[in-house]
Amino acid sequence: MGRIKRIKKPRLHSEGRATLQIGFVVLLLVNVLVYYGFHNISMIPFYVVASISVVLYAIVVNFFRCPIRIFDGETKNIAVAAADGKVVVIEEVDENEYFHDRRIMVSIFMSVTNVHANWYPVEGIVKKVEHHNGNFHKAWLPKASTENERSTIVIETPQGQEVLVRQVAGAVARRIVTYAQRDEECYIDEHLGFIKFGSRVDVYLPLDSEILVKLGQATVGNQTIVARLSGK
């Protein structure tokens, strides 16, 4: 398989355009009202509200950033982090949707301060893409992986290993966007999708994979090496 690819050009996800536009207008109106309501008495309320508005808007802009990242290394038998965030689960589990056997699950939780773009953790061919409606439990709860709204993507690597990626909506997240399409080639460095407002990404790896991250470790999507897969 040749490298690259379909690197997205926009630096802000299209998913966030409406939110950013509405947020800007609302914050602008609030600041104008505070200014005209208090400028004859004291400018302190305006300065406070303006400062808070800038911080809030900066957080939302960061949330919807679409960073272009290139993995500088060998991608054969390597699984990289599918998202920015923190490793909250590393355990052997039963995966009953596709594999129906035991797998090592590595889960990355994305807080509201993280970029919410998702990347392909491995290179290969997309074998399955399926969206499931569900609940909106807090994303860090174990039951979120099987009961929450989620999208499942299965990738077969050139070495014949199959890796399952699951985008999981959280208590706030109400929109999962998946770019992956069945039977297409996918590559590290490409965006797999996007989850709007706080969530997690689970990656199910073969049992003989060498896990290279630890619980609580911060990850950088498409940069942190999560595991080394066995294979030729």
Report the catalytic residues: 199
Residue with tokens 């889960």: 107
Q: Report d(CA 177, CA 117) in Å as an integer.
A: 10
- The sign one gets for the Cα dihedral 10, 13, 17, 23 is negative
Write out the DSSP string of 177-197.
Answer: EE---TT-EE-TTSEEEEEES
Question: Three-state DSSP class for 26?
Answer: helix
In sequence order, the 6+-apart residues with CB closer than 8 A to the CB of 28 are: none
H helix runs in the chain, sequence order: 17-38, 44-63, 144-147
> Which tokens hold the place of 209?
């994979």
20-34: b (≥16 Cβ within 10 Å) or e: beebeeebeeebeeb
